[in-house]
Amino acid sequence: MIALGQQLKWQFILLQKNNIIGISLGVTLVYGIVLYFLRSWGSLNELLVFLVLNDPSVIGYFFIALAIYTERKHQILPAIFVSPINLHHYLLSKVLSLSIVGLVCSLGLAFSVKGFSFDILSYAIGAFSICVLSALLGIAMLTFADEFLNFAMLSIPVFMVFVNLPVLNYLGAVDLGSIVNIFPVQASLSLIADSLVDSTHPTALSFLPVIIWPPLFYLLAFRLFNKKLIHH
């Protein structure tokens, strides 16, 4: 745990040095100000869910890939893995650091619209889960492309299926029926959406997919990263 904590601290330093924290918070501030002045127009729950599903997921998915591609480009990655650094600590610290940034941004958006009048715990669990899943998916997908541009092109259909289809179903633009429940982010989306409605209270089963999906995604990301980038 101490080694993981040290790695996590180092990742936050790197995020700050590369202005990723500043950029993320800056974008959230702009969104938050706009949402704050729009909240008198009526319920903004749908817009808030849309932003939370997209903004933090983009932070996790693309920023983690960009960081790792940068390390590969400057030959930092090979140096890291001939050092005593544990691969699990390396991956987890990157995922957790970006997920914490994404969670803070998500909470900032919610506070700007709802104040404290929502289920903060359920909302936070849902938002954090989306950030973690997105970052892990980004790690898995980057193993299939040698450059960030190729990764971005490859990610368009993947990201649309991963995030946008469940969001479109939630907004009523498409009707996926019960099929929507097979999407990994659906449980997190439901937690976020339900947390914004006073009359809705999540059950224990609502949290089960949020507990199951991240370890499965981590196993996939770890195996692909280890096989294709470490022992290729």
1-16 tens-digit pLDDT: 777 888 888 888 888 8
The average confidence (pLDDT) of the chain is 86
pLDDT value for 113: 86
pLDDT value for 75: 77
The residue type found at 50 is F
Q: What is the pLDDT of residues 44-53, one digit of tens each?
A: 888 888 888 8
- DSSP-derived secondary structure letter, 115: T
pLDDT value for 207: 84
Find the domain containing 103 and state its range. 2-230
Q: What is the pLDDT of residues 66-92, one digit of tens each?
A: 888 888 887 777 766 676 778 888 999
Q: What is the pLDDT of residues 165-184, one digit of tens each?
A: 898 898 888 888 888 889 99
The maximal CA–CA distance of the chain, rounded, in angstroms, is 57
Q: Which two tokens stand for residue 188?
A: 């997190």
* Domains: count for the chain: 1
Q: Is the pTM of this model over 0.85?
A: yes
